[in-house]
Structure 1
Amino acid sequence: MTERSRLPELNQPIETGQSPAVADLAAGGFAAETEILTTTGPRRVGRLTPEDRVYALNLATSVMQPKRVLAVEPVTPTDSLVEIRTRRGHLKLLQDHRIPYQTKSISRIRTHPAGELATRQEYKFVNDWQTRAYPRLEQVDMTELAKEYEVGVTPNCHGHTFRARLPDGCEPSRYGGDVGYYFDPDTFETYRSSIEDTAAEVTIHAGPNHWRRPITFDGDDFLEFLGWFITEGSITHSSNRDTSEIGIAQKTASHRERIAELFDRMEIDVCVSENGFSFSSKLFARVLTRLCGGSSHEKRLPEFVFTLPREQQELLLDTLFAGDGNDWGVYYTASDQLAADILRLFAYVEYKPRYTVRNGNWQLYLGTSRDGFSSTAHVSSTTDTSPCYRLTVADYSAVMAGMDGKFQWVGVSQVG
């Protein structure tokens, strides 16, 4: 996966007439079984509401952003529908629905009514796009993720000197012997800079008698840790002790080496077995459950993942596939929410979502996006009397749409 250039202005709406692809919009309509990729995952077009936000593409700038649904209107077909079926795409559309396309000789994006595609022989779907540029996640602070915690501070000087250097009102909640002093969340956040200036070490835990862990982590390391936990992790709550165990299953030698190095960098001591890695932390259990879900059927991606720069999204995606993927670029999960989130993540790193569901398990395909279709081999007419739906979206003129779990960039009925 390679990084692409970013555009400085990404929030400007398209002006009518700015691009032929926008000016030539026709009414069109999607078949009822068409799914649209939204910010909560794929959704049938007829079930969209004005509360939904869909992933939309500015055909003039090739920028993708979530955009509001403005209207969904049922319409009864008066003619046969146009069906486009390829290995990576399946669409049924009204005759006048606009299809964005490129050709081998002309890279500029144009649109053509679905019913007139036979006027050309070979088409390329829109295969290149980019998203808004976000700042890197340089560091993760556990105090920002944990709701209940206690901070342990080992002074870099004698205890009396340490106490004397603290500002008025900055009182430790208790003394911890060899560790030093402990502070409750409110006191620590209020006087954090003064406390850290006189500290040799600052750690965090759920409370007395719990393991202390580092308070901050490198952003890339934390994302990689989340990836391994989401795809291979578990949380076990002790029945006879006030603690929880975080486990990451892994038997592949190369992956085990990568995970061991990760825990070394994060300065987390772990127990190693032939099946994987584990460590105890009630605080981590709370944070991971809130961010990523607990059981395999509840797993999900944290929402902040979708405001990361592309290179960090790729790091997370690579880690996920190292855990539950295979050599053919297929990811497996039993979690409906995780499947929806990864399909969304595909679009952010410029992969067109594609999936199947078998026996309640999702299979997500990380395949090339450089595909197209032939008007003679892949386009046909089909009779369908089911209602179609016209979709109006704010600002941008194409959405990620498809049937049978295969998505492509397709024009909308109107831009509002």
Structure 2
Amino acid sequence: MPSSSGSSTSMPAAQVHGFDDQTELLTDQSWKALPQVTGEERALTLNEDVAEWAPITGLWRHAFDGYLNLHDGDRVNFAVTDSHRLLVRGRETTYRRHSRLTVEDGEAIKEARRRGVPQAVLAARYGVSVGTIGDVAHGRRDGKLRAGALDAPRWQLRPYMDLPEHFKVRRTNIWAGSHPDQITFATPPRTPGYQRTLTFAFDDWAEFLGWYVAEGWTHTEARGSWSIGIAQKPGVKYEQIADLLGRMGIRYYRGALALKFHHKGLSLWLQEHCGVGSGHKRIPVSIKEAGADMIDVFLDAFGRGDGAVHTHEDSRRYITSSLQLANDLHEVLCKVGRGRKVRVMAEAGSASVMSTTGRAFTRRRATFMVSDPGVPVDSDVRKQNVTRVRYTGTVYCVATLSQSVMVRRKGCALWSGTSACPPMDGRSPVAT
């Protein structure tokens, strides 16, 4: 059981560290408002550059009557006490960002690219742009890299009161995750006429789940068969789904507006792990905990079903009426270093018009939009955009072994420091 400091604890306001009550923590039980965190959860933390689940080792709840520092932006949103530590680095010029890379970094980047490590992953690891990684990998930065160690740490945990006028907050990281090479489903015995066993390569399975969570359903038909379908009009996407099902060895049939097949074992699994109905869809744990490459396979297929290109070709907006699915999408995006924002796109009870028929209707559920920038990006903060606001209530914080957690406020995610806790158990602090 983690240690706890209750709200009755008396401390001078200048020494109290923490967030307001609108801040959420990313845990292995999804996003949780800090007042609802019990300490039994695991929090998403940083072990150097790698995001991983780790125990919560302490809870802090302090009565507070003073001023919080509020950045209420569309990309960055936090409300913290003066002494709360953020995970930051100073704003650097383009030249300094490039020169921060050492000769040893350059060789490591070239070797990583030869092994197929994505440029975006390396950009997050070294704190430079994707373009810079490409230049280094192709030798265009040879002679411009630093010899020897860096002058300063790339990231630092610093109290808000000690931060410069202009700084960056961290939103990027890498994710390891794990998944099997294959997955197998068997039809329960004594069920005549069905395929008894289906074995899929995991990348095909991840793609199938992306399409299914976006556009799929399953139900028992009148004659007792277990039907699975993925809705799509005939066209390019329809054929992409057909090619996938064929590659997976699934005997499907083509409907006018969907591709369908029957398999009881798979149908039961989808109902249990993906939810039933558009308002109750979710991402299976096997995908949320998979490697970053499989998460991207899932997101690519989901985006073709329920997404749209956003500000540039690689960016996307994912749309859903399921709050749990919106939270799951935000979770996996944070894991792969691209967590930006989730917001309500349309409120429940609002009026709209069917794009296909022109029929007016009233939304029964809210619609959520989750932003995917396509590449890992940290965010600039200027103190001139931070407001001092009076706050009387409880402030909250947790402790983790690596002194870092992923938090969000009003849908905007970022990495933050925690209450001080010495590094233990072999984990590395996020800044040294």
Give the alignment's TM-score, normalised by structure 2.
0.70
Partner of 1:115: 161
Compared with structure 1, are the counterparts of its residues 415 and 251 closer, same or farther at alpha carbon in structure 2 (3 Å cutoff)? Answer: farther
Q: Quick one: which of 347, 358, 365 aligns to 2:334?
A: 347
Q: Is residue 79 of structure 2 the alignment partner of residue 92 of structure 1?
A: yes
Q: Tell whether the 8 Å contact from 2:341 to 2:412 is kept in structure 1 after alignment.
A: yes
CA distance in 1, matches of 2:158, 2:251: 59
Partner of 1:42: 31
The superposition leaves residues 66-97 of structure 1 with CA deviations (integer Å, 9 ceiling, x where unpaired) of 12223322213343111123321110001101
Q: Quick one: which of 113, 124, 131 aligns to 2:175?
A: 131
Q: Is residue 250 of structure 2 the alignment partner of residue 268 of structure 1?
A: yes
Runs of 5+ consecutive residues of structure 2 not aligned to the other structure: 1-14, 101-126, 128-153, 311-315, 349-365, 423-432
Q: Tell whether the 8 Å contact from 1:36 to 1:44 is kept in structure 2 after alignment.
A: yes
Cα deviation, residue 110, structure 1: 1.3
Cα deviation, residue 112, structure 1: 2.3
CA distance in 2, matches of 1:230, 1:384: 41
Query: Counterpart of 1:242 in 2: which secondary structure?
Result: coil
Compared with structure 1, are the counterparts of its residues 52 and 208 closer, same or farther at alpha carbon in structure 2 (3 Å cutoff)? Answer: closer
CA distance in 1, matches of 2:50, 2:250: 40
CA distance in 2, matches of 1:213, 1:272: 21
Cα deviation, residue 369, structure 1: 4.2
Cα deviation, residue 324, structure 1: 0.8
Partner of 2:309: 327
Partner of 1:198: none
Partner of 2:226: 244
CA RMSD of aligned residues (A): 2.2
Partner of 1:399: 405
User: What amino acid sits opposite 2:305 in the alignment?
Assistant: G
Q: Quick one: which of 62, 68, 79 aligns to 1:81?
A: 68
Query: Counterpart of 2:66 in 1: which secondary structure?
Result: coil
Flag as ranges the 4+ runs of structure 1 deviating above 4 A.
none
Compared with structure 1, are the counterparts of its residues 94 and 338 closer, same or farther at alpha carbon in structure 2 (3 Å cutoff)? Answer: same
Q: Quick one: which of 55, 64, 76 aligns to 1:68?
A: 55
Q: How many equivalent residue pairs?
A: 324
Compared with structure 1, are the counterparts of its residues 109 and 27 closer, same or farther at alpha carbon in structure 2 (3 Å cutoff)? Answer: farther
Query: Counterpart of 1:49 in 2: which secondary structure?
Result: coil
Cα deviation, residue 48, structure 1: 0.5
Compared with structure 1, are the counterparts of its residues 385 and 81 closer, same or farther at alpha carbon in structure 2 (3 Å cutoff)? Answer: same
Q: Tell whether the 8 Å contact from 2:17 to 2:419 is kept in structure 1 after alignment.
A: yes
The structure number with the bigger radius of gyration is: 1
Give the alignment's TM-score, normalised by structure 1.
0.72
Q: Tell whether the 8 Å contact from 2:234 to 2:257 is kept in structure 1 after alignment.
A: no
Residue identity over aligned pairs, in percent, reads 25
CA distance in 2, matches of 1:92, 1:304: 34
Compared with structure 1, are the counterparts of its residues 129 and 322 closer, same or farther at alpha carbon in structure 2 (3 Å cutoff)? Answer: same
CA distance in 2, matches of 1:247, 1:273: 9
CA distance in 2, matches of 1:403, 1:51: 22
| More divergent stretch after superposition (43-52 vs 214-223) | 214-223
Q: Tell whether the 8 Å contact from 1:28 to 1:94 is kept in structure 2 after alignment.
A: yes
CA distance in 1, matches of 2:234, 2:84: 49
Q: Tell whether the 8 Å contact from 2:75 to 2:340 is kept in structure 1 after alignment.
A: no
Runs of 5+ consecutive residues of structure 1 not aligned to the other structure: 1-25, 151-206
CA distance in 2, matches of 1:213, 1:254: 31
CA distance in 2, matches of 1:415, 1:324: 42
User: What amino acid sits opposite 1:254 in the alignment?
Assistant: V
Cα deviation, residue 249, structure 1: 0.4
Q: Tell whether the 8 Å contact from 1:37 to 1:401 is kept in structure 2 after alignment.
A: yes
User: What amino acid sits opposite 2:18 in the alignment?
Assistant: G
Q: Quick one: which of 263, 277, 280 aligns to 1:281?
A: 263
After superposition, residues 199-210 of structure 1 pair within 5 angstroms as 207-210=190-193
Query: Counterpart of 1:66 in 2: which secondary structure?
Result: strand
Compared with structure 1, are the counterparts of its residues 377 and 87 closer, same or farther at alpha carbon in structure 2 (3 Å cutoff)? Answer: farther
CA distance in 1, matches of 2:20, 2:279: 31
Compared with structure 1, are the counterparts of its residues 308 and 139 closer, same or farther at alpha carbon in structure 2 (3 Å cutoff)? Answer: same
After superposition, residues 334-373 of structure 1 pair within 5 angstroms as 334-357=321-344, 358-359=347-348, 360-367=366-373, 369-373=376-380
User: What amino acid sits opposite 2:170 in the alignment?
Assistant: V
Q: Tell whether the 8 Å contact from 2:173 to 2:335 is kept in structure 1 after alignment.
A: no
Cα deviation, residue 396, structure 1: 1.6
Q: Is residue 215 of structure 2 the alignment partner of residue 232 of structure 1?
A: yes
Q: Tell whether the 8 Å contact from 2:46 to 2:402 is kept in structure 1 after alignment.
A: yes
CA distance in 2, matches of 1:390, 1:267: 50
Cα deviation, residue 349, structure 1: 1.4
CA distance in 1, matches of 2:66, 2:161: 10
Compared with structure 1, are the counterparts of its residues 299 and 228 closer, same or farther at alpha carbon in structure 2 (3 Å cutoff)? Answer: same
Partner of 1:414: 420
Q: Tell whether the 8 Å contact from 2:331 to 2:339 is kept in structure 1 after alignment.
A: no
Cα deviation, residue 208, structure 1: 3.7
Q: Tell whether the 8 Å contact from 2:26 to 2:331 is kept in structure 1 after alignment.
A: yes
Compared with structure 1, are the counterparts of its residues 71 and 385 closer, same or farther at alpha carbon in structure 2 (3 Å cutoff)? Answer: same
Cα deviation, residue 213, structure 1: 5.5
